Amino acid sequence: MVLKDEFVIVLDFLPHGHPVGKPEPIAQVIGEKYFSLLEVVLREGVTVKPGDRLYIGPGKREEVDHIKKRITAKDLTNFARSELPHVVEEIVKKDEKRFVDFFNKAQPITTRLHQLELIPGVGKKHMWDIINERKKSPFKDFQDLKNRIKLLPDPRACIIKRILEELEDGDDRYRLFVSGPAPKKI
């Protein structure tokens, strides 16, 4: 099952589409919740700019005519690729509670690997420190996490780095934040 986003953030707008193909207004976007990378076709006369938030859910869509396809990070325009880290950072900043809750609720994946260990900068020692501290009380925000876990790198930056790694590496075996890869073309 592929998890579907209802809202997306524009990374790039191509008013005439790709140089090769049907001339139609296309936006390359990233999902707000599952970080899906998509190309959407906009309604006639609609223009958008990077950072705009668009609705793509099952209800009536104002700006988006239809979702053209899922894409990978390799399919992004150079401009969209340059915007990606900034947009991911904004998404994480706006929904801090969700990502702090990851630290409060992360579980083992196997007997030898824990979800926390997939976060860059978190090894076995930090993992155990986080698990022991969250037993005392849940973390309230990133600052609380950083204050209570000695020598932990910036947790917000670590989450952003992990999301970007999952977006860049479409075959990543363990996904924490990004919905599954685009279907393979045969």
pLDDT of residue 183: 47
| CATH superfamily to which 7-78 belongs | Nucleic acid-binding proteins (2.40.50.140)
Rounded to whole angstroms, the Cα distance separating 116 from 44 reads 45
Rounded to whole angstroms, the Cα distance separating 167 from 169 reads 6
pLDDT at residue 19 greater than cutoff 90:
no
What is the average pLDDT across 97-121? 96
pLDDT of residue 6: 95
Do 93 and 156 form a contact (C-beta atoms < 8 A)?
A: yes
Query: CA-CA-CA-CA torsion for 14, 18, 21, 26, nearest 10 degrees?
Result: -30
Pinpoint the residues of the chain covered by CATH 1.10.150.280: 95-168
Helices (H), 35-106: 78-94, 96-105
Of 79, 84, 1, residue with least CA distance to 37: 84
* The architecture CATH gives domain 95-168: Orthogonal Bundle (1.10)
> How does the average pLDDT of the chain come out, rounded?
92
pLDDT of residue 186: 42
pTM across the whole model: 0.91
